[in-house]
Amino acid sequence: MTTTQGGPVEPASPPGPTGVALPRGFRVRLSPRTRVLDGGGLLVGGTATGVLHLRPAAVGRLGTDRSLVADDAVGAQLCRALLDRGFADPDLDPSPAPPTGGYGEVTVVVPVHDDAPRLARLLDVLPDGLAVVVVDDASADPDALARVVAARAERLDVRLLHHATNRGPGAARNTGLAAVGTPYVVFCDADVRPVDGWLERLLAHFADPALALVAPRVLGEPTAPGERPTWLWRYEQARSSLDLGRVAAAVRPGGTVSYVPSACLAGRTASLAGGFAEALRVAEDVDLVWRLTAAGWRVRYDPEAVVRHDHRTAWGPWLRRKAYYGTGAAELARRHGDAVAPMVLTPWTAALTVAVLAQRRWSAPVALAVTGTTTVALSRRLGSAHRPLLTSARLVGGGVVATASQTAGSLTRHHWPLAVAAAVVSPRARRALVVAAVAEAVADHRSVRPDLDVVRYGVARRLDDAAYGAGLWAGAWHGRSVRALLPRVVGVPDRVSRLLRRTR
């Protein structure tokens, strides 16, 4: 056993590799979010919903199954571009075999604090012979953890390290990381239970030499036999903060998936030299992902790899956890600026938002004029497309839906204290808040299709947002900064952009 000392450090991620090609034979497949137009010459979608024109030679490389192989330098370059911009995902073997020679290239790090039963459950499902480092973050009963580890020492290459004082999950993971001597590391919280095939699937992603992290889908544990599922349990099964959905994605700030939770993460050890920010007790996973992407590394989310997690299903602990997540936004804003912004506005989406929220006679004509003008202007930039006006209309229509969604999120989640205050004195504000609260809940219910009626789902959704928003405002108050509450404005003149940054 080893006892570690020390305080928080401010980490810096090593720079990502440049000019490193994908290996020959690496295959990608267009994302379900990607639409193929003009006979393959135009792709619409990607991480930030954009347009990608393909040259005829590139179109010829795209298979009828929407796949592409890095069979030469040009193919590798095209695959890399599609991956990095979110138009494609790695096309992996759906059931990859365990690595040749066993699991000698990976170590699992488990941070734990007074959770011996669930630690035992986790260790019991890890593959035989796997190297494991358990870090006890100053538990009240360290002997219980020691007994769990000792009982599994014959099956696993397991070590137990101790912190003399409680330093938080980020510091515990860093202590474990410092003891790792393998090329790859997997961080698993003690309340996680991996599902068969998870590790093989995650490790297969590291064929991409630029990949730093990959995360599985985190689903809730099923109910015990004979146990009746509660209302909140059903909501968490569909809408947990840890579950990032059914579709794979490149992970980056502002993308369709902007972070991955640290409940379970697989990483390239060399890319994690900076480790987690030990000063953060919350959002340390988001900070790590954003530092890595800023340094040039790639991060991916793969829902085909699955782990189970013990979600909170009692109202009090659940609401407190949601609020706790919200408190992390202020520190993220301090470290990463407007990457944490609750809204991203362009001039046309800002004008559209103002027009709709104003609820005046001129609102509808202005909204139509803004969307029409934007559609025509964009179609001119898509002149090489077969039907530039139709493609432009689809893109602008998607932008309108996204604008409505983030406006509803602002009213019901990030800025609900202001929205409620305005609703008290203004019938228009009250109408906007009610419509946003109901419409967003109904739309989200249709999207995730939970095993829960729309009324109870909507109530849970609003409580979820209210708790997170309360934590967000509490964090802003504690940090004496409103930066995490301000929108990010893009596509404005440089002088205006500098002025907005100064006001933050």
Task: Kindly report the pTM of this predicted structure.
Answer: 0.92
In a domain, 321, yes or no: no
What H or E segment, with its residue span, contains residue 407?
helix 388-409
Residue 313 reports pLDDT greater than 70: yes
Name the domain boundary from 266, 292, 313. 313
Same domain? For 262 and 359 the reply is no
Same domain? For 72 and 110 the reply is no
Length of the chain: 504
Same domain? For 149 and 255 the reply is yes
Three-state DSSP at 152 gives coil
Give 337-357 as a 3 state SS string. HHHHCCCEECHHHHHHHHHHH
- Burial label for 14, CB within 10 Å (0-12, 13-18, 19+), is middle
In a domain, 9, yes or no: no
Secondary structure E strands in 38-105: 42-45, 50-53, 67-69, 88-90
Per-residue confidence (pLDDT) for residue 495, from 0 to 100:
46
Same domain? For 271 and 391 the reply is no
Same domain? For 134 and 239 the reply is yes
Secondary structure E strands in 199-326: 211-220, 249-250, 264-268, 298-309
% of the chain exceeding 70 in pLDDT: 94
In a domain, 328, yes or no: no
In a domain, 474, yes or no: yes
Q: Which of 310, 307, 309, 318 is nearest to 232 (CA)?
A: 318
Which tokens sit at 414? 């990030």
**Residue 225 CB coordination number (10 Å):** 5
Same domain? For 365 and 418 the reply is yes
Tell me the CA distances in angstroms from 329 to 264, 360, 443, 482, 504, one per residue in order.
21, 34, 26, 10, 15
Same domain? For 302 and 377 the reply is no
Per-residue confidence (pLDDT) for residue 88, from 0 to 100:
94
Q: Which of 53, 48, 70 is nearest to 61 (CA)?
A: 70
* Parallel/antiparallel/unpaired status of strands 131-136 and 106-112: parallel
Per-residue confidence (pLDDT) for residue 100, from 0 to 100:
63
57 pLDDT band (50/70/90 cuts)? confident
What pLDDT digit, counting tens, does each position of 202-254 carry?
A: 999 999 999 999 999 999 999 878 888 899 999 999 999 999 999 999 999 98
In a domain, 201, yes or no: yes
Same domain? For 352 and 484 the reply is yes
Please give the mean pLDDT across all residues of the chain: 91
Q: What is the CATH number of the domain that holds 155?
A: 3.90.550.10
In a domain, 333, yes or no: no
Total domains in the chain come to 3
**Distance from CA of residue 293 to its chain's centroid?**
13
Name the domain boundary from 296, 313, 330. 313
* Parallel/antiparallel/unpaired status of strands 249-250 and 264-268: unpaired
Name the domain boundary from 90, 121, 141. 90
In a domain, 10, yes or no: no
What domain range includes position 244? Answer: 106-313
Same domain? For 280 and 401 the reply is no
Same domain? For 366 and 307 the reply is no
Same domain? For 156 and 288 the reply is yes
The single-letter code of the amino acid at 396 is V
Same domain? For 115 and 238 the reply is yes
322 pLDDT band (50/70/90 cuts)? very high
In a domain, 323, yes or no: no
